[in-house]
Structure 1
Amino acid sequence: MNEEVDFVIDSAKENMENAIHHLEKELVKIRAGKASPSMLSSVMVDYYGSQTPLSQVSNINTPDGRTISVQPWEKSMIPEIESAIMNANLGFNPMNNGEMVIINVPPLTEERRIQLVKQAKAEAEHAKVSVRSARQEANKEVKNLEVSEDLEKNAEIDIQELTNTYTERIDKILQTKEAEIMKV
């Protein structure tokens, strides 16, 4: 095949791969029953006047499936960390014992599980839109190349196959996450 066409297809594949990576990153933030340090990945703490990720001012651990412990490197940060977790609207109620912040992760209600599945489906749909937009962009670029009609048609077929593959991957990732969320 033509090198320019190969480049366009590789570029589309890279964009689709980025959509999958983004989806996986977003789905990690959606909690599925058990505690995980990544649940606090979006929490920003006011650290001497600048907004800093919680993971950069403390150790975050999960001693068991229902608890997250946040051990700040400076004890004076405990009130800041507590308020940052409260302000992050994650539905957690942090407590401190003078040494660390402890978060008991409440079990999910059926209603909340359904909301989380909807949220996961929305993220998957965003990923599919990104994949389709990469396909559209690649098809447009192929049309702009000065190549034979056959080469153009073959490239469009290859791009569509790539799109189908990535869409199936997104569906599988979503199925796995859905099962994880709905498991009691």
Structure 2
Amino acid sequence: MRQSATFAGMVGLIAALLCGLTFSHRARVEIGRRQLRYLKVRKLTGLAGAAGISIFAVSFPWRVTASSERLSKESAYTAWCMVVPPLVVRSGVTYMKANLDAPLDQWQIEKGPDGTPIVYISNELCEKSRAPLAKTAIDTLRKAPKDMEQTPSRMDTLQWTFSLEMANAKCIETNDPRLGRDTPRL
């Protein structure tokens, strides 16, 4: 994903430069010699530049996985991660209710597709990622059965389980001592 985003960014940058060149008289003459219309070239390269740079900006790892370069523990940099609460367990049965009273070291750190924890470089980026997920989760939970909290968690209730977790997710500093020792760092 990162490589395709970088490629799109490079294509976008080149297209944006070509678009900028169409404003010079010499470039317009060269475009005309190739029997092209400079306004069409300007428009197409401008669109390609905007699209490529946008893809790069959206896909660039502004959020960094924990497997990336780590800084020392004494570092002044603070990383953030999104954590979700565990579900309530009674008599060995997991129920469809978030355990918001559980200590933070029992909360799960959200992980990426490759299984590494997702680490954000700022609280703002973490919140920007969390907010739409929480909104979607809350909308999904509105359609849930009323007695959901009394229902044991099963495979057919995974949609509600995920929604419960995401509706109660928090962004927290990775150096928070309540998370435990094995927390991701930048």
TM category, shorter? under 0.3
Normalized per residue, which structure has more helix? Answer: 1
- Bigger relative contact order, structure 1 or 2 (CA pairs below 8 A, ≥6 apart): 1
